């Protein structure tokens, strides 16, 4: 903003300056060549662009804002040698051409006055109202004298917090950066590179998220020229060599016009050349480019239904490339963008990309939130004048960008007090250029970056309470916390009853959102013992037949086979009162299976004759249970405690190594009474993190 402001011969700025008489300055300016009923000639082009979008706008406030800006910046010059007032005028013209309403333009004219002149926020508030004052304050930089190296990140934090209450703050900042980038050539190369990198890492992603494509594309080209001069020159030369490429697209456009005219669809068909970065990306993707690769066709219609009518005609009369079709009308992008994308091939084989949208969709696609006017008025249209920033339907703001990425950003920045952490996290967050929507179990939605996992969903829904998360259900099925979510998935994070449990360091490998990463890192810092590698759970010594050698509580009815030779099958671990079947095996013993055990079918297939068995009178029994759970500290201790409380004795236990945060415990238990088995299994399932307990089902053996 003010990096290029110079005031030759002026003393250094002091903290206390005499208050300016704004009315006297205003009268002096208005008594000059410009009449009272006209805006000054210097902003005539701004007024003309503004009236093109807002014919009934009251320009009086713009006249007063210009008078104050010109008088306060008088004597200041940019490094290019131009009077400094040319900068706020250029920024205001950019916003006026995008369709910004009067309040935004007023603040834009004044956006550097508080930072670079003697004008104070109190004076701006008194002359132009609270709303303009808020916007000007939102884009005013923090002093390096006060913040040192943290001035830049803290300035962006201040702007983002202000944007959370009024998105027009960031609109002014983006236009301001665009004009500064246009005139960056007067700076030293190292300073150009530094400003271009911040623009690339922060401002361009913000322009994308706010949907201001007109600013984003030009910023991309300007950054491209500074940071990648060789690639830029190669792309520029390629475009120059194919200066007649528009002829190929023009021919396709005429064919499209003919098709739509014959179908009775009123539409405007335009050829839109690609900007430099877009051509560069297409060249990297496709290699050699044809004439139609240097631009796209834009079809503008009146109604949403006409978009699909145009699509149908194009796919009927041309050869469509189905892989290129995308419907952003039915499913708009998170930055408000709506359009149909397709690609068609003509009779000569030339392929042209086509964008289909209504005129209103096009306005929003180009200007994003700027095209929405003032989203804080009750009707959301913006009146062209000042409005109550808190107004809205039922007292709520109607800002469509606030519930999504901006809300998440404002939440996590509060947990990042360190400027370095905030700055690096902000850049990482903005690098996530795609967003998905997942549904909560209660029908609500969560907006998450593409690639987010169940960990991210848990922290997005529950905040720090997600420390106790032990797993999740995704689309009704149990899933590990590492599971990546897709657009439209339904996710239900599962929290442990023990609120004292905390996240594992492994969660950081799966967390994509700053909120989750900051919360996990903070908890681990407060609990350093949790970050230490956990010792492997003890594996109790067992043998494959450990559950089979003990005397079984079953009696074989076959003659010549004493009860001592009866043993329970380890594949299904039958217990009273299961329906059982026995089979004679080697060594003269009888193995007892549950009636539905797959081993029964296998024995019959081998020609083994079943032996009738029955349960004896003894109440004791032995059973093998398998507990499947999400890994967490103290899980083994809690399970064995639940088993002991239920009155069962652990004969042997095996804990398998964790896989994808899941663990599998196998217990062979001695029960005093088989009737207590259902209660025992319920008690094990109630242990936090356990999602299934079942009877053992090992492969059957002869």
* Catalytic pick among 116, 131, 353, 456: 116
The residue among 528, 403, 523, 397 whose CA lies nearest residue 463 is 523
Which helix (H) or strand (E) segment holds residue 332: the answer is none
In contact, 114 and 137? CB cutoff 8 Å = yes
The residue among 104, 115, 24 whose CA lies nearest residue 67 is 24
Q: How many Å apart are CA 77 and CA 466, to the nearest integer?
A: 54
Q: Six-digit token pair at 277?
A: 């970065």
The residue among 372, 508, 489, 513 whose CA lies nearest residue 431 is 513
Contacts of 633 (CB under 8 A, 6+ apart): 501, 530, 534
Handedness of CA 483, 487, 490, 492 (dihedral sign): positive
Q: How many Å apart are CA 194 and CA 329, to the nearest integer?
A: 38
Neighbours of 637 (CB within 10 A): 11
Q: How many Å apart are CA 249 and CA 525, to the nearest integer?
A: 59
Neighbours of 623 (CB within 10 A): 23
In contact, 626 and 662? CB cutoff 8 Å = no
Does residue 111 come out as left (phi exceeding 0), alpha (psi in the -120 to 50 range) or beta? alpha
* Catalytic pick among 115, 154, 221, 578: 115
In contact, 520 and 488? CB cutoff 8 Å = no
In contact, 449 and 409? CB cutoff 8 Å = no
Establish whether the linkage from the previous residue to 577 is cis, with ω within 30° of 0.
Answer: yes
Q: How many Å apart are CA 203 and CA 96, to the nearest integer?
A: 20
Active-site residue 399, yes or no? no
Q: Residue 248 burial (CB < 10 Å; 0-12/13-18/19+)?
A: buried
Q: How many Å apart are CA 159 and CA 155, to the nearest integer?
A: 6
Q: Residue 560 burial (CB < 10 Å; 0-12/13-18/19+)?
A: exposed
Q: Which residue has the tokens 């509060």?
A: 414
Angle at 167 between CA 163 and CA 173, to 5 degrees: 75
Q: Six-digit token pair at 183?
A: 């005139």
Q: Residue 120 burial (CB < 10 Å; 0-12/13-18/19+)?
A: middle
Q: How many Å apart are CA 313 and CA 255, to the nearest integer?
A: 12
Angle at 254 between CA 274 and CA 245, to 5 degrees: 35
Angle at 329 between CA 326 and CA 332, to 5 degrees: 90
Active-site residue 115, yes or no? yes
List 268's β-bridge partners, or say none. 300
Q: How many Å apart are CA 92 and CA 110, to the nearest integer?
A: 10
Contacts of 408 (CB under 8 A, 6+ apart): 447, 460, 513, 514, 515
Edge-first strand listing for the sheet containing 469-474: 477-479, 469-474, 491-495
* End-to-end CA, the chain: 83
Point out the residues that are catalytic.
Answer: 115-116
């Amino acid at each position: 903003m003010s990096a290029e402001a110079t005031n030759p011969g002026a003393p250094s700025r002091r903290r206390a300056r005499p208050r300016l008489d704004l009315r006297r300055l205003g009268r002096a300016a208005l008594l000059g060549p410009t009449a009272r009923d006209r805006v000054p000639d210097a902003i005539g082009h701004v007024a003309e662009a503004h009236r093109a979008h807002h014919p009934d706008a009251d320009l009086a406030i713009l006249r007063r804002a210009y008078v104050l800006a010109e008088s306060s910046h008088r004597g200041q010059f940019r490094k290019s040698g131009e009077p400094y007032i040319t900068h706020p005028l250029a920024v205001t013209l950019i916003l006026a051409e995008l369709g910004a309403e009067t309040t935004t333009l007023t603040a834009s004219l004044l956006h550097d006055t508080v930072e670079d002149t003697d004008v104070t926020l109190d004076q701006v508030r008194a002359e132009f109202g609270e709303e303009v004052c808020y916007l000007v304050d939102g884009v005013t930089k923090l002093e390096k004298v006060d913040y040192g190296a943290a001035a830049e990140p803290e300035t962006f934090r201040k702007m983002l917090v202000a944007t959370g209450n009024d998105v027009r703050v960031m609109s002014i900042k983006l236009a301001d950066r665009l004009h500064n980038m246009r005139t960056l050539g007067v700076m030293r190369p190292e300073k150009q590179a530094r400003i271009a990198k911040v623009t690339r890492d922060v401002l361009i992603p913000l322009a994308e998220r706010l949907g201001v494509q007109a600013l984003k594309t030009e910023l991309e080209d300007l950054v491209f020229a500074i940071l990648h001069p060789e690639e830029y020159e190669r792309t520029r030369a390629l475009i120059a060599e194919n200066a007649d490429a528009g002829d190929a697209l023009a021919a396709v456009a005429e064919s499209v016009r003919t098709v739509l005219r014959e179908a009775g669809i009123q539409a405007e068909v335009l050829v839109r050349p690609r900007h430099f970065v877009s051509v560069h990306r297409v060249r990297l993707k496709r290699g050699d480019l044809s004439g139609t690769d240097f631009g796209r066709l834009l079809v503008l219609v009146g109604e949403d239904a006409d978009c699909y009518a145009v699509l149908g005609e194009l796919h009927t009369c041309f050869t469509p490339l189905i892989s290129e079709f995308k419907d952003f009308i039915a499913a708009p992008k998170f930055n408000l963008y709506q359009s149909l994308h397709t690609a068609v091939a003509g009779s000569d084989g030339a392929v042209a990309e086509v964008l289909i949208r209504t005129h209103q969709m096009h306005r929003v696609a180009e200007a994003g939130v700027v095209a929405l006017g003032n989203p804080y008025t009750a009707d959301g249209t913006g009146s062209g004048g000042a409005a109550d920033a808190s107004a809205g339907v039922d007292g709520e703001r109607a800002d469509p960008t606030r519930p999504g990425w901006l809300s998440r950003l404002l939440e996590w920045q509060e947990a990042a007090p360190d400027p370095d952490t905030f700055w690096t996290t902000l850049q990482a967050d903005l690098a996530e250029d795609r967003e998905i929507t997942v549904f909560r179990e209660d029908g609500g939605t969560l907006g998450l970056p593409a690639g987010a996992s169940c960990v991210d969903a848990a922290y997005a829904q529950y905040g720090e309470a997600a420390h106790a998360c032990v797993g999740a259900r995704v689309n009704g099925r149990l899933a590990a916390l590492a599971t990546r979510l897709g657009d439209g998935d339904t996710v239900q994070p599962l929290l442990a009853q023990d609120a004292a449990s905390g996240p594992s360091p492994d969660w950081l490998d799966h967390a994509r959102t700053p909120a989750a990463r900051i919360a996990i890192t903070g908890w681990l810092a407060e609990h350093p013992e949790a970050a230490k590698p956990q010792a492997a759970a003890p594996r109790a010594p067992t043998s494959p037949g450990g559950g089979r050698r003990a005397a079984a509580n079953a009696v074989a009815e076959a003659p010549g086979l004493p009860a001592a030779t009866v043993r329970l099958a380890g594949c299904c671990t039958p217990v009273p009162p299961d329906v059982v079947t026995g089979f004679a095996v080697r060594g003269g013993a009888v193995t007892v299976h549950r009636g539905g055990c797959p081993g029964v079918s296998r024995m019959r297939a081998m020609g083994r004759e079943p032996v009738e068995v029955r349960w004896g009178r003894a109440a004791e029994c032995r059973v093998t249970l398998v507990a499947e759970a999400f890994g967490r500290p103290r899980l083994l201790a809690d399970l064995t405690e639940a088993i002991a409380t239920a009155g069962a004795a652990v004969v042997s236990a095996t804990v398998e190594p964790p896989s994808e945060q899941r663990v599998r415990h196998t217990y062979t238990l001695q029960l005093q009474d088989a009737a207590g088995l259902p209660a025992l299994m319920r008690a094990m399932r109630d242990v936090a993190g356990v999602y299934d307990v079942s009877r053992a089902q090992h492969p059957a053996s002869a």
